[in-house]
Amino acid sequence: MSDAIGIRPSVGENTRRALETIGDHLIPEAHGMPSAGTMGVGTTQLDVVLASRPDLAPLLEGALADAKLDDIGDFVRRLEAEDPEAHGAVTLAIVAGYYMHPEVHELIGYPGQVPKDAQRLGEREIYQEGLMDLAAKVIERGPVYRPTPNPDETS
């Protein structure tokens, strides 16, 4: 399916269940943090991930639709060895979905992306944030604008 006409890519129920099972294996409940499966890495959070990365859907389907998960560790190791691209898609979908969940944000103390006022940053922070690199590209590019018409000349 294509997102070009507003249709979101989707994956089947087997793929979703497999993703949650693998997710619970890779990110189990521990140290006060929930497991990946309980955070919906195969349901709502997968939909969030696919909204940003629709290219992952066919890789996930190919790797997980008919996956035999009797030994999850062995399955993940084989997938990494035999299809690194699919392995990357599976682990990315799990980790991204997990860490984008609002409850996980709260538990790890992550406030989300917050704007920074460059005029209020010190020189050290400007360099640490990479703002000088961004500014250098703009300066190198030169001015890009449309001149505003002079009201006296538009009559």
* pLDDT given for residue 155 in this prediction: 55
Mean predicted confidence (pLDDT) in 48-53: 95
pLDDT digits (tens, 9 = 90+) for 86-134: 999 999 999 999 999 999 999 999 988 887 776 777 778 777 777 788 8
Amino acid making up residue 34: P
Please tell me whether the overall predicted TM-score, pTM, comes out greater than 0.85 for this model: no
Task: Please name the residues in contact with 25: beta carbons below 8 A apart, sequence gap of 6 or more.
Answer: 72, 73, 76
Residue indicated by tokens 């409850």: 103
Please enumerate in sequence order all residues whose Cβ is within 8 A of that of 63, keeping only pairs 6 or more positions apart, or say none: 79, 83, 86, 87, 89, 90
- Comparing 42-51, 58-67, 119-128, the range with the smallest average pLDDT is 119-128
Instruction: Supply the pLDDT for residue 2.
Output: 43
Mean pLDDT for 130-144 is: 83
